[in-house]
Structure 1
């Protein structure tokens, strides 16, 4: 019995990260290099704002000592106006700094998302076999957003606080060295409390992240499999499991909140103790005449400002830790090399005749369990070949290898006598048209799904292709014709209409080699006739590899290759293979004979 929860294997990935990692921060800084001017402007404004904040208590000291106590109203007005000017300038500079850093963070986020998406576009299909879509989506969205928050607020706030703290320490020492030392006497206790808090909150943060990962994984699995949940009446069990996961997350979150709730008032008490020491010692100095009353007030203000950044430490710590975790995952993705790469000097193949040869091909999906074993065949230009066999015989692997979604384990695949490993992937696939069983349609219009953003295909060519393969008739009946939104995965179209649309797409790109994995889904008789007519037109004049499920298709090809357990067992025409009475004959009895009877009934 397997214990644990769905998605628990993701826990290590979800909770990685320190509050600061010099290696990761170094890589993140590279993304700021194109925006050096903006960063410099932000840093300068941080320094000026910090200096202005330091000036405010000092202006209070001057106002009290020079104008309030001596009762100089004219001088008091001047210092008040100066104080107002400092506040106004600080407001404007703070606005500028926040705007500049937010702008920089958004630009960095744009660059990073573009880089990640471009990198994903280059990855091999095997990479997507190993990495769930949800995880990759998280890299592009949540993780990049977390880094944006760190750049726009986390790092900037920490730098501003650091400058302010250093400035306060210097000013206090210059104002009164002994009183400053008395104020700093509470710092050892503050350092110990902060260190203790950092340890506790890090563990609490990890626990929360882990439980969120478990909830997300369970929700995704449960929602995707809702039909199975309902048909097997698992609603109550799944609800109980979710309630347990949710309760676990609640407890972890409350522990995290508890540490924050304790830390804030603790820092407040320590800060108040520092103020009390200033009032006690500084007040005595004022009574002795060794310290002015204005300096005492300024010291109290400085101490309050000193402890404010430390009170906000918990929030900043969480931002930084989340950012380091996100950057770790993003850079791990960006450092993953594509398994299939173009050769340094690819053979140019601008045009091809369409000759295909598999020469002693062996292939396994990542291990020694070969799905293709010593497969060899030759297909001449314009020849139509059907592959048949039971599920798992290796038919789909033939398609994957020819399109170079995967590389062969042994042997070689040649097009016009050139090994496809010596060709650029883009140029290879430019000559291939693939129509799969499960037709994938993007959100967008019918025309967009035929053209796929290819500028060289005009609207007239799109419509001509659609008319040729019997798509135009049903498209014209749609409310917006070729501009009708097919919605996600073509939800507004039937299975037969989606297949015809895929034929139009393949025809519009006019490939020299066509690969067709016939749909097994049943369609009505009229649609079946349209599909067969469109298929005959689509195959005309092209080298064609067909994973055949329809008897009518099999009868119209030049040769049939029978695969069984990864090996080629029989080759011949429909009639020749039936006469042999071998594997194909048995497949015909199991799968195709009923189709022949159905076709005869329809003709009658």
Structure 2
């Protein structure tokens, strides 16, 4: 999936590629047993239904002229039985295929979600979330029916055509040829419209994807929108995207309606031709009225499968385009993963070494170059410096959220690139800058990273970070339900809950990225007391712009110029009167 924005169409103009459909057969094969049963039921239902015109012909040509009342009752009941049995078989088949379609959706969507969970941060950095979501939801929904009912219906329609042709020619060869005479005209119509139809549906998908991406972005940023009174401007953007979608949809519907319009007219013309040829050209001496009635019924039935096959063909082509996007997501490489023969990282003490580390988010634009430093187990390290210098990057590399470009990072002498990710991250407690709260109870959110934690352990972690008091003020305490992203909580409350979640994991390495940025000064002082106890015996990295919160750290590293410009304790750096001294002095002056 290429980098994109909500106002840029995805490139869906790709030729029909059968390999994507073949790949989808993996999901179809899992459902082959019910699909075969459904196909048999469909064939039986179609075959029984096709006997109705023959019954009607016999009744008109034989039973009624002979005034056979008992025969009329018999044939009427037989026709009713064919209708009932056909409907019952079709209903059973429909229910089976509904389940098959949902099972296929479940399998594809589960594989997508599992893969998305494994993709690195880099994948999400430059991609609209809405355009990722539409692949998991809309595109999967679009292909499921084609992969289940579509295949069954395609085979069934072919069989229908074959059965109808057999029945038609069995009744009358000459009128059958009249019906087939309209087929070349229909083929010409399909050939003229099929490419335009496919492109039109792809354009609809593009505009739907753009609209979905902007809608998701707007909902996520609604507070910022209202703060800056951007409602009217954003409404204009949404209206433009919605208008583009509506325009493409209407154009597509216009093209779609041309095919049934053509079929209806051709069917009418052919039916008229049947009556003309049968009654006028050949005459009642050669063809009975019952035969004409049966053939007109078969003519109507004959064109419907052809219409369905043409629609299925377009659906298959569109589905392949969707499948390509789905498989493109599934094929997105998991660049940060366990290497072959990766080893479990044993219980760590917390010695961390950066050895000549270089890293770039984009090739050729290094954020860090030849960075080397060593942190002893149990040391607390503060990372300070200007915005964008690479402080968060350093802690992200320790957690191996990104692969380094060069050099080596070791924990207790073990290269983290050779360690299994789960064994590495399970021994780290990380509180990122964005305090994300999941929908559920406060208890569930704190327990998120350690599902086996007891309620008492959850409460103990909350007390350490000074979250217990405000949690108990809620009517339901720890069982209070919170919305996605914690919209009912203040920013400070969200950070304290995230802090408790991180501390509950009891990590050997603790990473706090602006952990106290939204906490008031009084709460921060209380929190610091608990943290001082918690940090004992753990290696910790603390990123903070307020230098007063990190002055007691064992080591302070000033990150700048793609590396560590200065390193030492607070007193050592102040005595050095370098960059840290200037930054600290400036903040001290601002506080006065």
TM-score bucket of the superposed structures, by smaller chain: over 0.9
Alignment of 1:156-555 (within 5 A): 156-220=152-216, 243=239, 245-283=241-279, 287=283, 289-311=285-307, 316=312, 319-452=315-448, 454-519=450-515, 521-555=517-551
For residues 412 and 336 of structure 2, the distance between their equivalents in structure 1, rounded to whole angstroms, comes to 21
Tell me, yes or no, if the aligned pair for 2:389 and 2:559 is still in contact at 8 Å: yes
The TM-score normalised by the length of structure 1 is 0.91
Deviation at 1:246, TM superposition (A): 4.6
Change (3 A) 1:446 1:242: closer
Change (3 A) 1:454 1:52: farther
Change (3 A) 1:25 1:148: same
Tell me, yes or no, if the aligned pair for 2:464 and 2:527 is still in contact at 8 Å: no
Aligned match of 2:107 in 104, 111, 116? 111
Unpaired segments ≥5 residues, structure 1? 598-604
Tell me, yes or no, if the aligned pair for 1:52 and 1:86 is still in contact at 8 Å: yes
For residues 496 and 471 of structure 2, the distance between their equivalents in structure 1, rounded to whole angstroms, comes to 11
For residues 7 and 523 of structure 1, the distance between their equivalents in structure 2, rounded to whole angstroms, comes to 34
Q: What is the CA RMSD across the aligned residues, in angstroms?
A: 2.6
For residues 118 and 522 of structure 1, the distance between their equivalents in structure 2, rounded to whole angstroms, comes to 33
Tell me, yes or no, if the aligned pair for 1:403 and 1:429 is still in contact at 8 Å: yes
For residues 572 and 453 of structure 1, the distance between their equivalents in structure 2, rounded to whole angstroms, comes to 33
Per-residue deviation, residues 305-324 of structure 1 (Å, max 9, x unmatched): 11223445675456444422
* Partner secondary structure for residue 356 of structure 2: strand
* Partner secondary structure for residue 347 of structure 2: coil
Per-residue deviation, residues 83-104 of structure 1 (Å, max 9, x unmatched): 1111111011000110000101
Report how many residues are paired.
Answer: 589
* Partner secondary structure for residue 365 of structure 1: strand
Change (3 A) 1:204 1:410: closer
Q: What does residue 581 of structure 2 align with?
A: 585
Unpaired segments ≥5 residues, structure 2? none
* Partner secondary structure for residue 521 of structure 1: coil
* Partner secondary structure for residue 263 of structure 2: helix
Tell me, yes or no, if the aligned pair for 2:382 and 2:541 is still in contact at 8 Å: yes
Larger deviation, residues 384-393 vs 401-410: 384-393
* Partner secondary structure for residue 389 of structure 2: coil
* Partner secondary structure for residue 570 of structure 1: strand
* Partner secondary structure for residue 387 of structure 1: strand
Deviation at 1:335, TM superposition (A): 1.2
Change (3 A) 1:17 1:89: farther
Deviation at 1:299, TM superposition (A): 0.9
Tell me, yes or no, if the aligned pair for 1:392 and 1:565 is still in contact at 8 Å: no
Change (3 A) 1:361 1:156: same
Q: What does residue 6 of structure 2 align with?
A: 7
For residues 223 and 472 of structure 2, the distance between their equivalents in structure 1, rounded to whole angstroms, comes to 35
Per-residue deviation, residues 221-261 of structure 1 (Å, max 9, x unmatched): 55656666667776666555655555554444333333344
Tell me, yes or no, if the aligned pair for 1:16 and 1:328 is still in contact at 8 Å: no
The TM-score normalised by the length of structure 2 is 0.92
For residues 243 and 503 of structure 2, the distance between their equivalents in structure 1, rounded to whole angstroms, comes to 55
